[in-house]
Amino acid sequence: MQVITSKDNEIIKGLKKLKEKKYRDEEGLYIIEGIKIIEEAIAERAKINKIVICEECVEAEEISQKLLYEIAKYNCIYVSKKVFSTLTDVVAPQGILAVIEKPGRDSNIDYNQDLILALDGIQDPGNLGTILRTADSVNLNQIIITKNTADPYNPKVVRSTMGAIFRVKIIETDNLVQTLKEIKKNKFKVVVTSLDTEDSIYNIDYKKKVIVIGNEANGVSKEVQELADNKVKIPMLGRTESLNASVATGIVLYEYVRQKINFDKNEKK
């Protein structure tokens, strides 16, 4: 077993470049790190380009034999602990990461679902990752993002998704207004979160709706608000006037879940 011990190795240099969006876009690759998410990648049949393993972590039996057996089917590269530390962004790394091929760009929207989620300029990687994870938890298989939204293949986003990155299709739009107009032609209504309304998220039904969540600082853009069929806000009893974008998204999506569960119960009666 050959072990890379130099941080100047060309393979290592290539891996370091993938920390930058420019090179992730150029190469069509991104990095995932940690035992659980690599297990998810294998289970979801993600296109694994290579797996990088810290030699000392294997010797210390920090990685299970079962996982080592699974990853042996892929292109595996072993590196020293010192080299691995130059690749990881994690405070307490588990000694294993993988390079994944990004899915090809697909702008086709699935109109068979009741709900579509669109993000208008979400900036924080942690927020975006949590939103992807929440969308996956309510069985949404797609999410629309604007070009000025954080890169969904940023390592922090990928970690925050907890594997949802493999199950939720990410559709990037150059023009959200035009995309929403096209969605409306397919009998969906546009719902935006806004403080400029008295309507609550609990006042509307979520059948055939596209929910737009806005930028953390400025909210949904004016052009999108002008296109909206409904403006809604989350009722708050305290003095706080706004919520974290990912928290707000979770509250709205789980009102959709509540309505769906009640509808399904009534259908069975």
Rounded CA-CA distance 129/133 in Å is 6
Beta-carbon contacts of residue 198 (< 8 Å; ≥ 6 apart) = none
Mean pLDDT, residues 5-19 taken together: 95
Tens of pLDDT, residue by residue over 203-253, are 999 999 999 999 988 889 999 999 999 999 999 889 887 789 999 999 999
* Closest listed residue to residue 164, CA positions, set 125, 137, 126: 137
Rounded CA-CA distance 39/145 in Å is 27
**What CATH number does domain 3-101 carry, 1.10.10.10, 3.30.2350.10, 3.40.50.460, 3.30.1330.30?**
3.30.1330.30
Q: What is the pLDDT of residue 269?
A: 63
Mean pLDDT, residues 70-83 taken together: 94
pLDDT of 1 over the 70 cut: no
Q: Which residues of 206-220 are buried (b: 16+ CB within 10 A; e: fewer)?
A: beebbbbbbbbeebb
C-alpha pair distances (Å), 108 with each of 75, 140, 152, 171: 32, 15, 18, 8
CA 214 centroid distance within chain: 16
* Closest listed residue to residue 118, CA positions, set 177, 163, 167: 177
Rounded CA-CA distance 216/180 in Å is 20
- The tokens for 93 are 């790394």
**C-alpha gyration radius of the chain:** 21
Residues 249 and 232: beta-carbon distance below 8 Å: no
Tell which wins on pLDDT, 46 or 241: 46
Q: What is the pLDDT of residue 56?
A: 86
Sequence ranges of the domains in the chain = 3-101, 115-268
Residues 134 and 163: beta-carbon distance below 8 Å: no
CB atoms within 10 A of CB 261: 10
- With bands split at pLDDT 50, 70 and 90, how would you rate the model's confidence at 74? very high
Q: Which fold has domain 115-268?
A: Alpha/beta knot (3.40.1280)
In the chain, % of residues over pLDDT 90:
81
Given this chain, do its domains 3-101 and 115-268 carry the same CATH topology? no
Tens of pLDDT, residue by residue over 108-127, are 999 999 999 999 999 999 99
Q: What are phi and psi of 267, to 5 degrees?
A: -65, -30
CB atoms within 10 A of CB 42: 18
Residues 232 and 204: beta-carbon distance below 8 Å: yes
- With bands split at pLDDT 50, 70 and 90, how would you rate the model's confidence at 140? very high
pLDDT of 266 over the 80 cut: no
Report the predicted TM-score, pTM, of the whole model to 2 decimal places: 0.92
Tens of pLDDT, residue by residue over 163-209, are 999 999 999 999 999 999 999 999 999 999 888 888 999 999 999 99
pLDDT of 63 over the 90 cut: no
- The tokens for 171 are 């559709």
pLDDT of 6 over the 90 cut: yes
pLDDT of 60 over the 80 cut: no
pLDDT of 44 over the 80 cut: yes
Q: What is the pLDDT of residue 43?
A: 95
Rounded CA-CA distance 90/185 in Å is 45
Mean of pLDDT over the chain: 93
Q: What is the pLDDT of residue 62?
A: 79
